[in-house]
C-alpha cells in the first residue's frame, strides 16, 4: 500500500549533532575535480566531517533534546535508528544506544538500513508504533557519518546525526505518507563490497575512476549520477502531487517543503517543476553537504529553527535516493522544541 495515515501522534522536538571540523571545498586542491565547478553544480561549499560514528552524533543530539524537552527517559518506549553506517555488522546500533542513553530495558529498539529516504520511512515506523501499541514517547535517530573504510573524504557528503522526538497526542493531526520503491535501480547508489553478496577482499580497496571522475574503492559509495538525477527529478514531483491530491491539500497551503538535500542542481530542478517559491524550500547543503537520512531534520534545526519554535506550520517532507526508494509525508508542527545545533 503506497499511502499510510497515522493519527494522534505529533513531533515534539528536533535536534542535530555534527562534527566541529569544517571542510571547505573551495580550499581543497584535487586532481579529481574542479572545486569551482563542483560547488556551482552541487551547491556544497563546506561540510562537517570527523572521527565520529553516526551513533556518537545521534547520542549527543539526543542528550541535548531530552534535556530541552525535560522528558523522563523511563517514559521512552521506542528507539528507531536509521543509518547506512551502523557501529557494527551486529549487534544493532539501536541496542547500543538504548544502553548508552540509559533507556528502559523494555524499550523497543530497531535499526533501519536506509539512506536518503530513511527519515521519512523511520517516521512512518514510529508513527505506527505510537498510534497502535500504547507507547507514548519515541525517538527517531537518523544520519550517516564515518564510513566502513578510511579514505579521502568525498566532497559531496557530510557527517550528521539527528533525533526527532515523537509522542502520542490524542487529537493530533498525525502523519500522512506516500512511499515507494524501485529495486531495479538498486545499483544506482551502492557500496559494492563488504556485505554477504560481495565479501571483502584485497581488491575491495583498489581505487577505480568513477563516473564523476573521482577515484573510489569498492567499500565506498559508488553512484550512477545521471541515473540518480533522472530518478529524482521524475519521482519527487510525482510523489508530492500524489500525496497532496490524495488528501485534497492545496500546495499553496504548505508553509515549508523539506526535501532531502541531494545536490543543488537536482533540488532546484525539483523545486521549479513543482513551481515552489524559494522561501518555502530551505536548503542546508551549502554548509553541511548531503547528509543522507539526517538532511531533512538538519534543515529544520539549522535553517528555520526560530520559526518552527514560534509558529504553527504545515510541512511536506520528501526523502529520495538509495534503494531506489522514496517517501513523502504531510505533517504539522505547533511551536515544537528545536535544540541548538550540537557541535561535537
Q: Which DSSP state fits 157? A: B
> Which residues are CB-neighbours of 231 under 8 A, at least 6 positions away?
182, 185, 188, 320, 324
Per-residue pLDDT of the chain (344 residues), as tens digits, is 699 999 999 999 999 999 999 999 876 655 556 788 889 999 999 999 999 999 999 999 999 999 999 999 999 999 999 999 999 999 999 999 999 999 999 999 999 999 999 999 999 999 999 998 899 999 999 999 977 666 556 888 999 999 999 999 999 999 999 999 999 999 998 988 888 999 999 999 998 887 777 788 888 888 898 999 999 999 999 999 999 999 999 999 999 999 999 999 999 999 999 999 999 999 999 999 999 999 999 999 999 999 999 999 999 999 999 999 999 999 999 999 999 999 99
From the list 230, 233, 238, 149, the residue with the least C-alpha distance to 188 is 230
Q: Which residues pair with 133 in a beta bridge?
A: none
Q: What's residue 225's pLDDT?
A: 87
Residue 74 maps to which CATH number? 3.40.47.10
Range of the domain at 97: 1-344
Q: What's residue 257's pLDDT?
A: 98
User: Exposed, middle or buried: residue 239 (CB in 10 Å: 0-12, 13-18, 19+)?
Assistant: buried
> Which residues are CB-neighbours of 40 under 8 A, at least 6 positions away?
none
Residue 24 three-state SS:
strand
Q: Which three cell numbers stand for residue 82?
A: 536509521
Query: How large is the greatest C-alpha to C-alpha distance in the chain, in angstroms?
Result: 57
Domains: count for the chain: 1
Distances 91 to 20, 110, 138, 147 between C-alpha atoms, Å:
28, 11, 21, 17
Amino acid at each position: 500500500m503506497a499511502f499510510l495515515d497515522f493519527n494522534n501522534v505529533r513531533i515534539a522536538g528536533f535536534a542535530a549533532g555534527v562534527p566541529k571540523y569544517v571542510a571547505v571545498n573551495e580550499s581543497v586542491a584535487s586532481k579529481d575535480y574542479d572545486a569551482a565547478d563542483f560547488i556551482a553544480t552541487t551547491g556544497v561549499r563546506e561540510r562537517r566531517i570527523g572521527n565520529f560514528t553516526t551513533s556518537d552524533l545521534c547520542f549527543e543530539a539526543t542528550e541535548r533534546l531530552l534535556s530541552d524537552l525535560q522528558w523522563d527517559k523511563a517514559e521512552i518506549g521506542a528507539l528507531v535508528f536509521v543509518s547506512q553506517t551502523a557501529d557494527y555488522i551486529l549487534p544493532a546500533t539501536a541496542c547500543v544506544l538504548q544502553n548508552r542513553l540509559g533507556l528502559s530495558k523494555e524499550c523497543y529498539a530497531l535499526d533501519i538500513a536506509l539512506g536518503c529516504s530513511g527519515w521519512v520511512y523511520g517516521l512512518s515506523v514510529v508513527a505506527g508504533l505510537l498510534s497502535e501499541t500504547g507507547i507514548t514517547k519515541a525517538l527517531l535517530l537518523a544520519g550517516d557519518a564515518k564510513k566502513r573504510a578510511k579514505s579521502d573524504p568525498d566532497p559531496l557528503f557530510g557527517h550528521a546525526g539527528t533525533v526527532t522526538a515523537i509522542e502520542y497526542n490524542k487529537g493530533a493531526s498525525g502523519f500522512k505518507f506516500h512511499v515507494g520503491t524501485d529495486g531495479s535501480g538498486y545499483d544506482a547508489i551502492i557500496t559494492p563490497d563488504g556485505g554477504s553478496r560481495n565479501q571483502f577482499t584485497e581488491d575491495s580497496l583498489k581505487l577505480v575512476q568513477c563516473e564523476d571522475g573521482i577515484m573510489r574503492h569498492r567499500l565506498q559509495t559508488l553512484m550512477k549520477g545521471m541515473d540518480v538525477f533522472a530518478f529524482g527529478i521524475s519521482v519527487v514531483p510525482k510523489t508530492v502531487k500524489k500525496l497532496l491530491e490524495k488528501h485534497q491539500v492545496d500546495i499553496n497551503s504548505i508553509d515549508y517543503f523539506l526535501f532531502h538535500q541531494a545536490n543543488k542542481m537536482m533540488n532546484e530542478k525539483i523545486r521549479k517543476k513543482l513551481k515552489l517559491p524559494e522561501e518555502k524550500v530551505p536548503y542546508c547543503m551549502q554548509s553541511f553537504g548531503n547528509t543522507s537520512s539526517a538532511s531533512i531534520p538538519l534543515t529544520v534545526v539549522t535553517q528555520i529553527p526560530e520559526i518552527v519554535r514560534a509558529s504553527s506550520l504545515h510541512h511536506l517532507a520528501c526523502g529520495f535516493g538509495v534503494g531506489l526508494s522514496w517517501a513523502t509525508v504531510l505533517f504539522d508542527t505547533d511551536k515544537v522544541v528545536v535544540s541548538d545545533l550540537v557541535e561535537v
